[in-house]
Structure 1
Amino acid sequence: MKIVEEPWPSGQPLAEALINNYSSVEHLYGYNPRFDESWSNRLDYLHSSDSKRADRSKLVKVLREFNHRYNSHEAVDKALDKLALKETAVIVGGQQSGLFTGPLLVIYKAVTIIKAAQHAAAKLGQHVVPVFWIAGEDHDWDEVNHTYVLSSDLHVSRIRIPRDSDHRRPVSWTEVSHEEWEEAAQELEQLLPGSEFKESMMDVFKQAAMESATLTECFARLMGSWFGRYGLILLDSADPGLRALEVDVFEDIINRNDEMEQAYHISADEVVGLGYAPQADVARDGANLFYINDGERLLLFKQNGKFCDRKGKVAFTREELLAELMSHPDRFSNNVLTRPIMQECMLPVLGTVLGNGEIAYWALTGRAFHTLGLEMPILLPRESFTVMEGTLQKHMEKYGLSWDDVKDRDHLNNKRDSWLSEQDALHLDEQFDEIKAAFTGMYNPLIDQLGGIQNGLVKLGNANRDKIVDQIEYLRGKAKDALAKTNEAGLRHFDRIELSLFPQNKLQERVYNVFYYLNRYGEDWIDGLVNIPYDVTGTHRVIYL
């Protein structure tokens, strides 16, 4: 395995500024992840503010119950034992519980959390444990109900478990039937090529799926099977046990909602003032909380002195909402802006691992942290990788292609066309161009002469010429199709390079699922990821296998 840095534009200038131009955004964040003193200062803050967070013993009890069900491993038990100690900190990150765990970036986030915790523990001489926050309270089923693999016939193939378009239940509350699990497993099995790892890999999924009633449960079991041995603690944001510990935080958010809303708006204005676009919607009169009504997750707003949803299904005064919270805490959940606050109040967060888009919207939350007397943790970019399989390397060497050649679709297409032209011993384009030029050169003067006999012959002659030119072009197309078919093997090599590295014109990690690579390389491949040296900057790297 060879690792090469190949920086990739994030599309999120705020995320790039956090790493490369920190002084320009320092007031939006708080700690510079590249500075050693940030780590020690944040740890000192955690030790001095322990009373602001949930009771540690109760939190560990909830986490132990969840992990015993879905992530039972000796290393996880040891990590939980450490978390029970007052001085222990965590590195945390989270993602939705996607089908087959979703795109590769989910795996890379878990790997980053583990490595960042190891890095921090060594740097500080302190217990630091990894925690993965499963966003089971999210309700966007269409975002998590599918995944993609590259099939043997070079198609980016989607596997999906559908639901009605108006489905708004939290993912952790949405049941998946045995029949749906079986159908998804069969699709995956048919799409993946045979390998020495395929049977055991599919057995891992089938066992996890058949024991799971929801995507979240299956996700937790799979993540536990791969990362439990590294002590990765799993947490479901929709866990009723966790929700009971969050009541005091929800109460603060409700009581100080107007102050927090103002804080979000001021931060959004600051972001715009710096020339950036806010990456989350800071709605006017937004309460930044969800209420679950008859299983439907409704976003709350403040109107006429009440907390209500846009559909008019619920409306509470502040006192009524607080009473509802005390009676039914399981009906409340955070939105994208209050989730960072809840995470801070539940866990002793030394650092949080985020994707570039997440880093950008966290810029909106700094003042809200301060409103509740809290500090934002260290923000750590998720590591980013592209896997370059050995077969792809051979293809690229054969056609003289570099990373720079393949990372740009237009450039790769030009390389493909140039290579195909080199296979054209007849120089088809040149010959057809000459024939067209010769034909029109002889025919156009004749048309002009025919106009002297009768004006109508000019129009007829032009139409006749265009038909003949169309037929020449038709023959050119057929000849080039035949040339392409003759060189089909080489063109498929180009297709494999493009579809493997940049499916749907995106980074591989944003599309393909981990099972494709487990099928080729086995679970040792995940160990290889964990053993790649940690990079606090999250710079994109290519893994040459």
Structure 2
Amino acid sequence: MPSDCISFQSSGYFTPLITDYLNQKENLKPLYNRFPTLENFKQQALEKQHNYNSDFRNVLVNALQQQYVGFNISNSTKQNIELLNKDNTFTITTGHQLNLFTGPLYFLYKIVSTINLSRQLTETYPEYNFVPVYWMATEDHDFDEINYFNFKEKKISWNRESSGPVGRLSTLGLEAVLEVFEKELGPGNNAAWLKELFRETYIKHSNLTDATRYLANRLFGDTGLVIVDGDSSSLKKLFTPHVKEELLHQTSHTKVAETAHLLKDYNIQVNPREINLFYIEDNIRERIILQDGTYYVNNTEIKFSEAEILALLESNPEKFSPNVIMRPLYEEVILPNLCYIGGGGELAYWLELKTYFESAGVTFPILLLRNSVLLTTQKQADKLDKLNLTWGDIFMKQQELVTKKTQEFSELGLDFSEQKKFLKQQFAKLYDMAAKTDATFTGAVKAQELKQLKGLENLEKKLLRAEKKNHADKLERITELQNELFPGRSLQERKANFSQFYLEFDGKLTEKLFADLKPLEQEFNIVVL
């Protein structure tokens, strides 16, 4: 049986920035507070306890209790909400968009990582309480990113017009989506459970925020997961000093720009705007723009003087929505949080923010790359063995994998490196001869060398093509297996929805994930179901 995990760094699916972060390269150390090791959480807790405004705890608990009104929640979730009133309670947080029916698989992996880390920390540091939190991205407005999920080979979409924060969006029209989904599911008890889950989630809740809270609570509520909606007047009231600072001084833009030189060798994930705030109403989420002392709401007729916008902030803080640059600060001001768990793209923009956090006097959290998983059947794992493949092989780019296996299968020497080396040695002697006789011959020698090397390369390619044909049957089985595990030659976790695997594996998916995923080990897990 092949190894059941490979390192993130060797998977080939993470950017240089993230692999360098995982390798703790010196040039990136100024961009984060503490690296995610079990030992570092003790110091992180002490620092956060010192810097976090304990008066916020009661406001947070009251807001959460209000958000859960009308929902059946587990005793463990109730207890965790109440524990947030205690000074020795901290959160471990992940965030995600309100994707239809959870969207891609990694939604589950984020939350399982968060819950498992909270459990591990509770065992290690019993003097503290650790609460897993899912922060819903209710104020996002990119509806096209969340209005579908893939079930097997079919894209199931919710087609409608949308404006404003997606969390406030009505769920009207999802009956038609359920009809399409039901036809794809077919018969059986597991299919019936998925139909019921979709119906209870989207048909019986009036907006996308409540629907997503219900869904996440059904899937994970028994673990004590606490679900937070940041689109809250009482929570935003706590954040108003930072919003005021942004409106008057545009601090986030200045501080994030200071970090840019430390990331000059990488692709910048997000670029800050002058003001990193949106103005929101039920059907509006537009940027706030400052021009000549007046604050304009982009694409509308709404505008404010400085005095007017500060008065609005005081009376209606819920009308101000932090963008991707300011939302991390909002989360860390509101929550007694120690660690943010996210994907590579998320961690990339968090790594731009430490200087901004320092200027705001807010503790920068530990950043942890979420667990990644490749789900496979025992039958697929057995095929890997029979084809003499490793999991490292199956993560390779397909053309590279085919070439590698062809070279292994062939009894011929398909690598002409030795011949090329010998040829270069011979031409080195010719260069010496040309230099001693007539230097003008050097150009002719160079041209002949390139011609001969090109000829060898062409022979090498022709031989490789011929051997691929000779071993076509084995190579086809290899590529078929890889295509099953990497749909569209992309990571399974970015394409497939959990429902496909819930159906296939008799409802055991989350149970297996909780057993197998270890958040601090920095490995791409292969989970055999």
Q: Same fold (TM over 0.5)?
A: yes
1:540 is paired with a residue whose SS is strand
1:188 is displaced (CA, Å) by 2.3
For 2:121, what is the secondary structure of its paired residue? helix
* AA matched with 1:355: G
SS where residue 212 of structure 1 aligns? Answer: coil
**1:164-175 alignment, distance < 5 Å:** 164=161, 167-175=162-170
Paired AA for residue 76 in structure 1: T
Tell me the SS of whatever aligns to 2:49: helix
Given candidates 511, 515, 518, the residue that maps to 1:531 is 515
Instruction: Note the C-alpha offset of 1:394.
Output: 4.1
Q: Does structure 1 conserve the Cα–Cα contact (< 8 Å) formed by 2:252 and 2:325?
A: no
Matched position secondary structure for 2:299: coil
What is the deviation of 1:534? 1.7
Partner of 1:146: 148
* TM superposition shift of 1:333: 0.6
Q: Which amino acid aligns with 1:279?
A: Q
Distance in 1, Cα, partners of 2:75 & 2:29:
40
Question: What residue in structure 1 maps to residue 6 of structure 2?
Answer: 6
Structure-1 residue corresponding to 2:308: 320
Kindly provide the CA deviation profile for residues 98-124 of structure 1, in whole angstroms up to 9, marking residues without a partner as x. 001111111100001101111222222
What residue in structure 2 maps to residue 435 of structure 1?
none
Deviation, structure 1 residue 495: 7.2
Give the match for residue 282 of structure 1: 272
Return the alpha-carbon distance in structure 1 between the equivalents of residues 321 and 49 of structure 2: 28
Q: How does 1:79-228 map to 2 (within 5 A)?
A: 79-125=80-126, 126-150=128-152, 156-164=153-161, 167-177=162-172, 180-192=173-185, 194-228=187-221
- Closer/same/farther in 2, CA of residues 184 and 377 from structure 1, 3 Å limit: same
SS at match of 2:4: strand
Paired residue total: 464
Please state whether the residue corresponding to 1:176 is helix, strand or coil.
Answer: coil
CA distance in 1, matches of 2:316, 2:140: 18
Q: Which residue of 1 aligns with 2:370?
A: 382
Structure 1 residue 315: Cα displacement: 2.9
193 and 5 in structure 1: CA distance in 2 versus 1, 3 angstrom threshold: farther
Are positions 1:517 and 2:517 aligned together?
Answer: no
Cα pair distance change 1:10/1:303, threshold 3 Å: farther
- The SS at the match of 1:517 is helix
Note the C-alpha offset of 1:499: 4.0
Which amino acid in structure 1 is aligned with residue 271 of structure 2? D
CA distance in 2, matches of 1:2, 1:415: 18
Q: Sequence identity, in percent? A: 26
1:410 is matched with: 399
Segment drifting more, 514-523 vs 338-347? 514-523
Contact 2:48–2:363 (8 Å) recurs in 1: no
Which structure 2 residues correspond to residues 314-353 of structure 1 after superposition, within 5 A?
A: 314-353=302-341
Structure 1 CA distance for aligned equivalents of residues 282 and 100 of structure 2: 25
Change (3 A) 1:392 1:189: farther
> What is the CA distance between 1:30 and its match in structure 2?
1.1
Alignment check: 8 A CA contact 1:5 1:541 kept: yes
- Verify: 1:258 aligned to 2:212, yes or no: no
The alpha carbon displacement at 1:524 in A equals 3.1
Distance 1:209 1:517 in 2: 21
1:30 aligns with 2:29: no
User: CA 1:50–1:184 in structure 2 vs 1: closer, same or farther (change >3 Å)?
Assistant: same
CA contact (8 A) 1:148 1:513 kept: yes
User: Residue deviations 1:143-169, cap 9 Å, x none?
Assistant: 01011121xxxxx211110233xx331
Q: Is residue 271 of structure 1 aligned with residue 263 of structure 2?
A: yes
Answer whether contact 1:93 1:109 (CA < 8 A) is retained: yes
- The range that moved more, 128-137 or 20-29, is 20-29
User: In 2 relative to 1, CA 504–319 (structure 1 residues): closer, same or farther, beyond 3 Å?
Assistant: farther
AA at the equivalent of 2:193: S
The SS at the match of 1:11 is coil
**Aligned with 1:159: secondary structure?**
strand
Partners of 1:413 and 1:400 lie apart in 2 by 13
- Note the C-alpha offset of 1:222: 1.4
8 Å CA contact 1:14, 1:359 repeated in 2:
no
After TM superposition, give the deviation of residue 207 of structure 1 in Å: 1.6
Q: Which one-letter code corresponds to 2:254 in the other structure?
A: Q
Cα distance in structure 2, aligned partners of 1:102 and 1:15: 24
Q: 8 Å contact 1:3–1:541 — kept in the other structure?
A: no
CA distance in 1, matches of 2:186, 2:379: 15
1:373 counterpart letter in structure 2: G
Distance 1:294 1:79 in 2: 31
Question: How many Å apart are 1:352 and its aligned residue?
Answer: 0.9
Asked if structure 2 preserves the Cα contact closer than 8 Å seen for 1:3 and 1:543, the reply is no
What CA distance in whole angstroms lies between the structure 2 residues aligned with 1:223 and 1:294? 23
User: In the alignment, is the contact (CA less than 8 A) between 2:357 and 2:364 conserved in 1?
Assistant: yes
Tell me the TM-score normalized by structure 1: 0.78
Q: Distance in 2 between matches of 1:50 and 1:59?
A: 13
Pairwise CA distance, 1:181: 2.2
State the distance in 2 between where 1:54 and 1:69 align. 27
Q: Is the 8 A contact 1:139 1:168 kept in 2?
A: yes
**CA distance 1:10–1:31, change in 2 (3 Å):** farther
Match of 1:69 in 2: 70
CA–CA distance in structure 1, aligned partners of residues 182 and 388 of structure 2:
34
CA distance in 1, matches of 2:246, 2:365: 19
Matched letter for residue 519 of structure 2: D
- C-alpha displacement at 1:197, in angstroms? 1.7
Letter in 2 for 1:119: Q
Please give the alpha-carbon distance, in whole angstroms, between the structure 2 residues aligned to 1:2 and 1:202.
36
Query: Which position in structure 1 is the counterpart of 2:524?
Result: 540
Amino acid at match of 2:484: S
> Cα gap change, 1:410/1:2 in structure 2, threshold over 3 Å: closer, same or farther?
closer
Give the aligned residue type for 2:228: L
* Partner Cα separation in structure 2 for residue 364 and residue 205 of structure 1: 38
Aligned residue type for 1:262: T
Q: TM-score, normalised by structure 2?
A: 0.80
Q: CA RMSD in A?
A: 2.9
After TM superposition, list the pairs within 5 Å mapping 1:349-360 onto structure 2. Answer: 349-360=337-348
Give the conservation status (yes or no) of the 8 Å contact 1:197–1:521: no
Tell me how far apart the structure 1 counterparts of residues 69 and 13 of structure 2 sit (CA, whole Å). Answer: 37
State the Cα deviation string for residues 437-480 of structure 1 (Å, max 9, x = none).
xxxxxxxxxxxxxxxxxxxxxxxxxxxxxxxxxxxxxxxxxxx9
Measured after TM superposition, the shift of residue 300 of structure 1 is 1.9
AA aligned to 1:141 is F
Letter in 1 for 2:137: A
Q: CA deviation at 1:240?
A: 4.2
Contact 1:279-1:360 at 8 Å conserved across structures: yes
Tell me: CA distance 1:311–1:510, structure 2 relative to 1, closer, same or farther (3 Å): same
CA contact (8 A) 1:99 1:145 kept: yes
1:34 is paired with a residue whose SS is: coil
SS in 1 for 2:296: strand
* 1:206 CA displacement: 1.5
Q: Which residue of 2 aligns with 1:434?
A: none
Q: State the partner residue of 1:50.
A: 52
2:5 paired with 1:15: no
Q: Which secondary structure state, in structure 1, belongs to the residue aligned with residue 523 of structure 2?
A: coil
Secondary structure of 2:519's counterpart equals coil
Structure 2 letter corresponding to 1:328: N
